[in-house]
Amino acid sequence: MATVTFDKATRIYPGTDKPAVDALDLAIEDGEFLVLVGPSGCGKSTSLRMLAGLEEVDGGAIRIGDRDVTHMPPKDRDIAMVFQNYALYPHMSVADNMGFALKIAGTPKDEIRRRVADAAKLLDLSEYLDRKPKALSGGQRQRVAMGRAIVREPQVFLMDEPLSNLDAKLRVSTRTQIASLQRRLGITTVYVTHDQVEAMTMGDRVAVLNAGLLQQVDSPLGLYDKPANVFVAGFIGSPAMNIATFDIKDGRAVLGDADVAIPASISSKVAAEGSNTVVLGFRPEALLPASAEEQGGIPVLVDVVEELGSDAYVYGRPAGPAAEEQADRLRSDQVIARVEPRNAPQKGDKINFAIRPGSEHFFSVKTGERLEP
Amino acid sequence: MELRILAAPREQQALLDLPWDMPLEQWPEWYLVALPRGISRHVVRFTRLGRNVYALKEIVKPFADREYQMLRDLARLDVPAVQAVGVVSGREAPDGSTLDSVLVTRHLQFSLPYRALFARMMRRDTVDRLIDALVVLIARLHLTGFYWGDCSLSNTLFRRDAGAFAAYLVDAETGELHNALSDGQRAHDLDTARTNIAGEMMDLLAAGQLDESVDPIAVSDQVVERYEALWIELTEWEAFDVNERWRIARRVDRLNELGFDVDELDIVTDIGGRTIRVQPKVVDPGHHSRRLLRLTGIDAQENQARRLLNDLDTYAAVTEQQGEDEEIVANAWVLDSYEPVLRAIPRDLRGKLEGPEIFHEVLEHRWYLSENLGHDVGLEEAARDYVDTVLRHKPDELAILGGTSAEADTTQPFRITWNDLQ
C-alpha cells in the first residue's frame, strides 16, 4: 500500500494549446478512497490514465509512495486497473482463476499459493478454492474476479467509471458494495466518475476538476458545506444550490424584490475588491418560509412541487415586479427550496423565503472564489 | 417511450419483426441460432433474418450508441471488425418497465470463434497461426490509433486464410480511438492481451482441448515478442551508410512480404550526408488482397490473395503470357482457372468454405495428387477429386456451428457484472 502524489502533473494533447490536465497537485493518503469527479472533459479520466501510465506526462511528476513513476511502463507501476477485463474460466478451479496471472509473471509456486490463500481469506472464499466457478453464487464469482486483482498485491487500485454500464438502480446498490469492499481491503484507491452523488457517497475525499484544473479536494461534507468557488458550489449537491448575483446596498444583498441581510465583513470584502455585487448561494434546505414581520426575503412563485414522502421540493421562479432581472442573474432556470412534506404549497402560490442564518455562501464576482465572513 | 430502430433501411424492415418487448434472455428458441458466444458481460443472442445471421447484445443505451459509432469508425478506417447494423432503443415490456437497448451486428460469414477451432484437439502449429493472426490485428489496430482495452481470443473471430488465419475484432465496448497511441497504451493493451490469452489457453488445457505440448505461458510470451518485432518493422527508424541505399528497397520488400503497403517513407540524410535514416510513415495492410482485387475483382484475405496471385504468375508463365498486360492475363486466369474450379463445387457444398479458400485447397490437393500419381493432374480433375474426398466431409462453416444456447458458463469463459455482487 502506498500514497499517491500528483506533483504539478500536466498533460497537453498534441495539437492543442490548453492542457487537458493543468499542473495537478494532489496528495492521496495511504489506504484512502479518493474520487475524481467533474463534468465531461474536465480531465478526471486523463489524470487517472496518467497515473496508470496510459497517458504521457508532459510536465511535473507522479509518485507512488517514494517511487517516481512518471515515465514508467504501466506494468511496472504496481497498480491494478480493477474490474474492467476480468473473465472467469470455467474449467479452472477458483484458486487457478485467482492465481494464473501470477504464473505468467513468473512468481514462484509457493508464493502464488500463499497469496491466493491470503486473498481468499480476505474475500471469504477459502472453502471454495478447489471448486469451479460454476459452483459459486454470483456474489462469490464477483469476489473471485476481485481476487485476481488482489493477489497481485498492487499498491493502488484504479477504477474508471466501473458502474457506467449498469442501469441507475443497480448503480446505487452496487456503489455501496464497492466502497465497503475497498474499506475492508484498505488498498489506496483512485476512482473516476462524472456523477457527483456517486462521488459523495463513495469517497473518503473527493477531488473536483473542471477544465483541467483542480477546483477543490475535501471530504464530501467539506465540499458540501464550504465549496471553495462558484463551480464547486453549483456542481456538488442534488438538487443543486441556488446561486445568483446580488447587488450590495446598505449592508444587504438585493436583487429585485429579493433582499437578504449579509454580514458586515462580506460587505467590506466586496468593497475592498472595488465591487458592489456579490454571488450569493443558498442550498434548497437552507430556505425557510419567512415570517410576516421579517424584513426582506426571497419571493418565489411555485411552478412544481415534488413530494418525496420524507422531503418535498418546491421548484419555482423569482416573483415580483423585477422577476425578469432576477431570473437573468440566476445561475439556473429555477429556484429550488426544500419544504415540509405533507404541508407543501400549491402550484401558483407565492412564498416568501428567508435563508437560515449562517447557511449563506458568498463568492467574489471577480474571481468566483469563496468569501468567508 | 417509443421503440427506435437506428439502422440501414433494408435491415430495419427485417429487424421490426423481432420481439423487442421481451428481454433477450427470454426470447423463444425459434428466434435464435445457436452460435458459440464470446465473452461479453452482457446477454448476447444470435438470430437469422433472411440470409443473414445477426448478433444482438443487450446493453445500456449510451454504451450501445458508443460501440455502434466505434464499429462504424473502424469500418471507415478499414479495420477488420464485425459490421455494426444498428441500435434498437426505447424498448418497453408489456408491463411498462423499460428494457436496455440492443446493439445489432452482422455475423461475419465463414468466421470461426477460437472455441470452435479448438473443438477438435488443437495442434501446436494451429495455435501459432492463430496467435500470428491476432498479433497482426493488434498491430493494425494500434497503427490506426485504436486502443482495444480487452484484447483476447474470445473477443476475436478468425477466418481461414490459405492455411493460416485472418483475425477480426468482435467486441469494441472497451475500445477508444485516439489520434495516435502512447507507448503506455500499447503496452497496457498488450499486457491485457497476454493475460487473457494465457488464461484462455490454460482453460482449454484444463478442459483437455489443447495438446499437452502447448505451454500457455510460452504462447502468451510469443504474443508479446511477435508484436514487438512487427511493430519495429512497421514503425522504427533504420539507419545505414549512404552506400547501402538498397536497404530502403529491402525494407519496403519486407513490409510487402508481411502484407503491408508503404504509402509514405520518411528519409533523412545526416549532415555530411554519410548516414541515411528511413522510417515508414504510412503503412497500409492488405498489400496482396488489394492487388488481387484490382486485377480480378476477387475479394480475399491476405494469404489467400498471395496464393491466388502466385497461381496467376504460374499461369502467365505456363501460357507464355508474361509480356502481356497484367490485367488481361488476370482476366484470362479467372476465366480459365478460378471460375471453373468454383463452378465444379456443387451448390450444396458452397457453404463449407469461402470461394478463395476452396481454390487454395484445390491447389494444395492438386499438388498432393500429382505427387502421388507421379504426373500432373489438371485443375479440373483435382477439383473433382477434392470435392469427393475432402470438401464433402468438412463441416459447414458459413455460420458456425455447434454452440449451445444453454449453460454457456460451463463451456466458455464468462464475464461477471457488478450487479452479481448483490
- Whether residue B419 and residue A92 make contact (CB cut-off 8 A), yes or no, is no
Tell whether A168 is within 8 A of chain B (Cβ): no
Q: Residue B80 is which amino acid?
A: P
- A252: exposed, middle or buried (Cβ count in 10 Å: 0-12, 13-18, 19+): middle
Window 13-72 of A, Cβ < 8 Å to B: 14-15, 52-56
Please answer yes or no on whether A91 and B203 come within 8 Å at the CB atom: yes
Closest Cα of chain B to A234: distance in Å? 25
Closest CA to A281 of A341, A193, A359: A359
Residue A21 CB contacts under 8 Å (≥ 6 apart), including other chains = A9, A10, A11, A43, A46, A47, A50, A212
Q: Are residues A101 and A23 in the same domain?
A: yes
pLDDT at site B243: 82
The cell numbers describing B261, all together, are: 503497403
Contact B421 A139 (CB under 8 A): yes
Residue B401: per-residue pLDDT: 41
C-alpha–C-alpha distance, residues B178 and B379, integer Å: 48
Confidence of residue B298 (pLDDT cuts 50, 70, 90): confident
The Cα–Cα gap between A311 and A175 comes to 23
Partner B, chain A 181-220, Cβ-Cβ below 8 Å: none
How far is residue A139 from each of residues A96, A136, B32, B154, B419, measured CA to CA in Å? 18, 8, 29, 23, 8
Q: Is the same domain home to A211 and A266?
A: no
Predicted confidence at residue B407, as pLDDT, reads 46
Q: Are B417 and B100 in contact (CB under 8 A)?
A: no
Say whether the ipTM exceeds 0.95.
Answer: no
Are residues B225 and B236 in contact, defined by beta-carbon separation less than 8 angstroms?
no
Q: How many domains does chain A have?
A: 2
| pLDDT tens sequence across B2-36 | 888 888 777 777 788 899 999 998 898 888 887 66
* CATH for A98: 3.40.50.300
Asked whether residue A227 falls in the same domain as residue A252, the answer is no
A250 and A174, same structural domain? no
- All residues of chain A having their beta carbon less than 8 Å from the beta carbon of residue B59 are 165
Q: Which residues of A touch B217 (CB under 8 A)?
A: 103-104
Cβ contact, residue pair A177, B422, below 8 Å: yes
Q: Are residues A272 and A230 in the same domain?
A: no
Q: What is the pLDDT of residue B395?
A: 77
C-alpha to C-alpha distance for A143 and B235, rounded to whole angstroms: 42
Q: How confident is the model at residue B211 (pLDDT cuts 50, 70, 90)?
A: confident
The 10s digit of each residue's pLDDT in B33-48 is 876 655 556 788 888 8
Residue from B57, B178, B189, B203 whose CB has the most chain A CBs within 10 Å, to mutate = B203
A199 and A257 assigned to the same domain: no
List the domains of chain B with CATH numbers. 4-108 (3.30.200), 112-235 (1.10.510.10), 238-285 (no CATH), 288-393 (no CATH)
Sign for the CA dihedral angle at A40, A44, A46, A48 comes to negative
What cell was used for A60? 511535473
Q: Cell numbers 465531461 correspond to what residue?
A: A40
pLDDT of residue B349: 86
Write down the pLDDT at residue B147.
Answer: 95
Identity of residue B98:
T
Q: What is the pLDDT of residues B382-417, one digit of tens each?
A: 999 999 999 888 877 776 543 433 444 555 556 555
Same domain, A44 and A179: yes
Q: How far apart are alpha carbons B152 and B138 in whole angstroms?
A: 10
B68-82: average pLDDT: 91
pLDDT, position B154: 86
Classify A363 as helix, strand or coil: strand
Provide the pLDDT for residue B164: 85
- How crowded is the C-beta side of B272, counted as CA atoms within 13 Å? 3
Rounded to an integer, what distance in angstroms lies between the CA atom of residue B105 and that of residue B171? 10
Contact, A245 vs A238, CB < 8 A?
no
* CATH number, residue A267: 2.40.50.140
- How confident is the model at residue A92, as a pLDDT? 93
Return d(Cα A17, Cα B109) in angstroms, integer.
46
The closest alpha carbon to A68, from A135, A6, A153, A141, belongs to A6
Which residue would you say has higher pLDDT here, B36 or B199?
B199
Residue B367 phi/psi, 5-degree rounding, is: -65, -50
Structural domain boundaries, residue A317: 239-371
| Interface mutation target, options B182, B416, B417, B420, chain A, most CBs of A under 10 Å | B416
User: DSSP 3-state assignment of A99?
Assistant: helix
Same domain, A114 and A185: yes
Do both A60 and A32 map to the same domain?
yes
Residues A227 and A243 grouped into a single domain: no
Q: Which chain A positions have a beta carbon within 8 Å of B200's beta carbon?
A: 89
Contact A163, A140 (CB under 8 A): no
Three cell numbers written together for A295:
424584513
B323-354 burial by CB neighbour count: b if 16+ within 10 A, else e? eeeeeebbebbbeebbeebeebbeeeeeebbb
The pLDDT, as a whole number, for residue B410 is 53
CA pair distance B152, B170, nearest whole angstrom: 10
What is the b/e burial string over A319-333, where b = at least 16 CB atoms within 10 angstroms of the residue's CB? bbeebeebbebbeee
Final residue of a structural domain among A207, A234, A261:
A234
CA-based nearest residue in chain A for residue B202 = A92
Q: Over the stretch B133-154, which tens digit does the pLDDT of each residue have?
A: 999 999 999 999 999 988 999 8
Q: Which pLDDT tens digits describe chain A residue by residue (373 residues)?
A: 699 999 999 999 988 989 999 999 999 999 999 999 999 999 999 999 999 999 999 999 999 999 999 999 998 999 988 755 578 898 999 999 999 999 998 999 999 999 999 999 988 899 999 999 888 887 788 888 888 888 988 999 999 888 877 777 778 878 888 888 888 888 999 999 999 999 999 999 999 999 999 999 999 999 999 999 999 999 999 999 999 999 999 889 998 888 899 999 999 999 999 999 999 999 999 999 887 677 788 999 999 999 888 889 999 988 877 777 777 788 877 899 999 988 889 899 999 999 998 999 999 999 999 999 8
Tell me the C-alpha distance between A300 and A296, whole Å.
13
- The residue out of A210, A234, A258 marking a domain boundary is A234
**Chain B nearest CA to A104, separation (Å):** 6
Domain termination site, one of A234, A260, A279: A234
Q: Are residues A25 and A107 in the same domain?
A: yes
CA distance A323 to A316: 12
Tell me whether residues B416 and A88 touch, CB distance under 8 A: yes
Contact B103, B57 (CB under 8 A): yes
3-state secondary structure of A302: strand
Nearest by CB to B188, which of A14, A54, A104?
A54
CA B12 – CA B29 distance, rounded (Å): 22
Cβ–Cβ contact A169 with B under 8 A: no
Query: What whole-number distance in Å separates Cα of residue B256 and Cα of residue A131?
Result: 50
Question: Which pLDDT value is given to residue A11?
Answer: 96
Q: Do A172 and A254 belong together in one domain?
A: no
Residues constituting chain B:
422
Nearest to B164 by CA among B121, B134, B198: B134
Q: Of B251, B256, B228, B229, nearest to B240 (Cα)? A: B251
What is the Cα–Cα distance from A356 to A43, expressed in whole angstroms?
36
* Pairing of β A59-64 and β A4-11: antiparallel
